[in-house]
C-alpha cells in the first residue's frame, strides 16, 4: 500500500541506462515475417487482420494518400501491441509517456499538413477562412482556425496518454483495494476482484481501440490534405 501510485510510469533503467528503446523495439518480434510458402495459422490471422484494417482505412484515400498505407498499418500495430504488452504485470507502457506520443503525433501531422500545402495550396488555405465569413470576423476566425490546426497533434497525444494512464491507475487502485480488503472483508474483496477482472477485459479493448482511434485520426488528417 505504500508503493508510489505512479511508480509504474517511471522509465525503467538498467545499470543507470534507460532501456525504453529495447521496450519500444520488442513489439516488432511479435510480427515475424513468413519464411514459408504456406504460413501457419497465427501469421495467417495476422495477415488477415492487417489486410482488413488497411482496407477500411485506405478506402477513403486518393492514390497519393494510399502511399502512406505501410506507415499507418505499422503505426496501429505498434501502438496496439505496446498497449497490450503494458497490461502485463510489472511491465512498462511507453504510450503513457506524453513525450513519446507527441514524438509520434507531431511528425505524422506535420507530414500530412505539409503535403496538403504542397499539392492543395488553395484548398488548405481555404480552411482558415470559411466561405461567407463577415469581414469584421475574418481576423478572429483566421486566428481560431490556426490555433485549432496546431492543437491537433497535441490532442492526438493527450488523448492516447490520458486513456492509457487512467486505465492503469484505476487497475492499480482497485488491485490495491482488493489486497487490503482480503483480511478485512473477504466478500467485499471478492466483489472488487470481479470488478478488477472486468476492468482488465475493458482495458484490453481500450488498448486496441485507442490504437485504432490514433491511427484513424492521422488517416483523416491525411485525407483532408490529399
Asked if residue 2 has pLDDT above 50, the reply is no
DSSP three-state, residue 17: strand
- The percentage of residues in the chain with a pLDDT greater than 90, rounded to a whole number, is 8
In contact, 65 and 220? CB cutoff 8 Å: no
Q: Give the residue, 198 or 44, on which the prediction is more confident.
A: 198
Confidence bin at 158 (pLDDT 50/70/90): very high
Give which of 159, 186, 192 is closest to 173, Cα–Cα: 192
pTM of structure: 0.79
For 13, phi and psi rounded to 5 degrees?
A: -130, 155
| Over residues 113-128, mean pLDDT | 80
Asked if residue 9 has pLDDT above 70, the reply is no
| Over residues 112-136, mean pLDDT | 79
| Over residues 163-183, mean pLDDT | 86
In contact, 145 and 127? CB cutoff 8 Å: yes
Residue 173 to residues 4, 177, 214: CA-CA distances in angstroms? 11, 6, 27
pLDDT computed for residue 214 by the predictor: 92
For 90, phi and psi rounded to 5 degrees?
A: 55, 35
DSSP H helical segments within the chain, as ranges? 20-25, 41-58, 69-85, 98-119, 121-126, 138-150, 152-181, 186-224
Asked if residue 216 has pLDDT above 80, the reply is yes
pLDDT computed for residue 106 by the predictor: 92
Q: Are strands 13-14 and 17-18 parallel, antiparallel or unpaired?
A: antiparallel
Provide the domain limits for residue 37: 1-225
| Over residues 213-219, mean pLDDT | 90
pLDDT tens digit sequence for 72-109: 888 888 888 888 888 887 777 888 888 888 988 999 99
Task: Kindly provide the b/e burial profile for residues 86-113, where b requires at least 16 CB atoms within 10 angstroms of the residue's own CB.
Answer: bbeeeebbbbbbbebbbebbeebbebbb
Question: How confident is the prediction for the chain on average, in pLDDT?
Answer: 81
Name the residue with cell 476566425: 141
pLDDT computed for residue 223 by the predictor: 84
pLDDT computed for residue 11 by the predictor: 66
Ramachandran area for residue 178 (φ above 0: left; ψ -120 to 50: alpha; else beta):
alpha
- Rg, the chain, Cα only: 22
* Number of folded domains that form the chain: 1
Asked if residue 23 has pLDDT above 80, the reply is no
Amino acid at each position: 500500500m505504500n508503493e508510489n501510485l505512479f511508480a509504474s510510469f517511471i522509465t525503467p533503467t538498467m545499470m543507470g541506462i534507460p532501456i525504453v528503446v529495447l521496450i519500444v523495439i520488442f513489439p516488432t518480434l511479435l510480427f515475424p515475417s513468413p519464411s514459408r510458402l504456406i504460413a501457419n495459422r497465427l501469421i495467417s490471422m495476422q495477415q488477415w487482420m492487417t489486410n482488413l484494417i488497411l482496407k477500411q482505412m485506405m478506402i477513403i484515400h486518393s492514390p497519393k494518400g494510399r502511399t502512406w498505407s505501410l506507415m499507418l498499418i505499422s503505426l496501429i500495430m505498434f501502438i496496439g501491441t505496446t498497449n497490450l504488452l503494458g497490461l502485463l504485470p510489472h511491465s512498462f507502457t511507453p504510450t503513457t509517456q506524453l513525450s513519446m506520443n507527441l514524438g509520434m503525433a507531431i511528425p505524422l501531422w506535420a507530414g500530412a499538413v505539409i503535403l496538403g500545402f504542397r499539392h492543395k495550396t488553395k484548398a488548405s488555405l481555404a480552411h482558415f477562412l470559411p466561405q461567407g465569413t463577415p469581414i469584421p470576423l475574418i481576423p478572429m476566425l483566421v486566428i481560431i482556425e490556426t490555433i485549432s490546426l496546431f492543437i491537433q497533434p497535441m490532442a492526438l497525444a493527450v488523448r492516447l496518454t490520458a486513456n492509457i494512464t487512467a486505465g492503469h491507475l484505476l487497475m492499480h487502485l482497485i488491485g490495491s483495494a482488493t489486497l487490503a480488503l482480503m483480511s478485512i472483508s473477504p466478500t467485499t474483496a471478492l466483489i472488487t476482484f470481479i470488478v478488477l477482472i472486468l476492468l482488465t477485459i475493458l482495458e484490453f479493448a481500450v488498448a486496441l481501440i485507442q490504437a485504432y482511434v490514433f491511427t484513424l485520426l492521422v488517416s483523416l488528417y491525411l485525407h483532408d490534405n490529399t
